[in-house]
Amino acid sequence: MCSLSFATNRLLLSLFCYRPRVKRCGEVRSVLSVFFRIQAGASLLAVRPRDRPRWLLACYERWRPALGTRLCRHLGALRAIHQKGVNLTDVAVEDGQEFAQMGSSLADAWQVRSSCESGRVVALQCSACGQRPAPGGRVVGGMDAAPGRWPWQVSVRHGSRHRCGGSVLAPRWIVTAAHCVHSYRRRSASGWMVHAGITHGSAKQEAGVPVERVISHPLYNDNSLDYDIALMKLQVPLNFSDAISALCLLPSHQDLLPGTPCWVSGWGYTRPDQAQLTETLKEALVPLIGTQRCNSSCMYAGELTARMLCAGYPQGKIDACQGDSGGPLVCQDELAWRLVGIVSWGRGCAEPNRPGVYTNVAQLLPWIYRVTEIH
């Protein structure tokens, strides 16, 4: 298990590892060999081969920027912000500190050294995500959300009307559902505004940030709602604060287990029979439901694709609803809050055996990375 991880507020201090990937027949494709962490303070990259008790600082020789990006994404961050070699003479290292020189790949063959040839070690900073300042919906059966509880939640508006929810991934990137933007002029960003840092006032006119680009997934299918994801690039960056911050994505090795407690939030309808958005952001706890069960004949009878996942309750009563679409389904692990789903569809709202269906973000990570890198 890879559970050696914890986070400090804003200073990321994280450990993670490569899990063995087991093929269906039981054959092991690659073995877990090394844990990583970024140490608070100087952001030094440390590695710990599986068979060693102590953390080793990573030597800078053989380092390439692409490795920093890969490591940050494995942690669930969107990108690496800074990476450089730091002179060992400029950092405080413990007596007897050992070092590791990279081998042929990130996960394997780090060689233990008593010093670094280059005299430098790797400092790596990933984009901040997944922390909220303090402990603290069309959500049917939910509760009012306290300010700051969901600082990544945005209201996506066209003209001044709330159309959908969305989530902050980076100061200039919002993720929402493709079906929210599909009926508007293709790829046109004009008219779209994003309102961040609010819990009240889905109908009011606070200053929003205009959208520069709208990019829907090219495979989005308006009939099946497969690939229901769109990214919005903002014209100006959001000012991150206690009220506005980014979500993490899933690390590539993380499994999503049925029953995991996750949260949905939004300004959508709070009663299936009343077409009215709420004034106050709502939240609801909705456990994940395994796809096999959700796709069974008593639920969605095969309508789900691999790009979808379910969350909610077989008995109904608590669910996302119209107006919540595009908004986040988030789950917390030892490290961070992560975007697991995007409110997408369902038969009605809060009905028995018709749980909410969400875009399965883990299946679309390569597309998110590619789009946010090239635009």
Of 56 and 320, which has the nearer Cβ to ligand 4AZ?
320
Enumerate binding residues for ligand 4AZ (CB under 6 A): 319-322, 324-325, 343, 345-346, 349, 356
Euclidean distance between CA atoms 94 and 275, whole angstroms:
63
Cβ burial of 363 (10 Å; 0-12, 13-18, 19+) is middle
Q: Active-site residue among 162, 179, 195, 217?
A: 179
Q: Which tokens in the block code for residue 71?
A: 């490591």
| Residue 325 annotated in active site | yes
Q: Rounded to the nearest whole angstrom, what is the least distance from the CB of residue 310 to ligand 4AZ in the complex?
A: 10
Q: Which tokens in the block code for residue 372?
A: 């946010």
| Residue 228 annotated in active site | yes
Q: Rounded to the nearest whole angstrom, what is the least distance from the CB of residue 202 to ligand 4AZ in the complex?
A: 14
Q: Which tokens in the block code for residue 239?
A: 């000012």
Of 71 and 308, which has the nearer Cβ to ligand 4AZ?
308
Q: Rounded to the nearest whole angstrom, what is the least distance from the CB of residue 67 to ligand 4AZ in the complex?
A: 40
Q: Active-site residue among 228, 245, 265, 344?
A: 228
Cβ burial of 342 (10 Å; 0-12, 13-18, 19+) is buried
Of 18 and 220, which has the nearer Cβ to ligand 4AZ?
220
Q: Rounded to the nearest whole angstrom, what is the least distance from the CB of residue 153 to ligand 4AZ in the complex?
A: 15
Euclidean distance between CA atoms 100 and 50, whole angstroms:
13
Q: Active-site residue among 5, 14, 127, 325?
A: 325
Q: Rounded to the nearest whole angstrom, what is the least distance from the CB of residue 324 to ligand 4AZ in the complex?
A: 6
- For residue 35, the SS3 value is strand
Residue nearest to ligand 4AZ (CB): 346
Euclidean distance between CA atoms 65 and 252, whole angstroms:
19
85 pairs with which residues across the strands? 122
Of 73 and 138, which has the nearer Cβ to ligand 4AZ?
138
In contact, 247 and 330? CB cutoff 8 Å: yes
Of 283 and 319, which has the nearer Cβ to ligand 4AZ?
319
What residues are annotated to the active site? 179, 228, 325
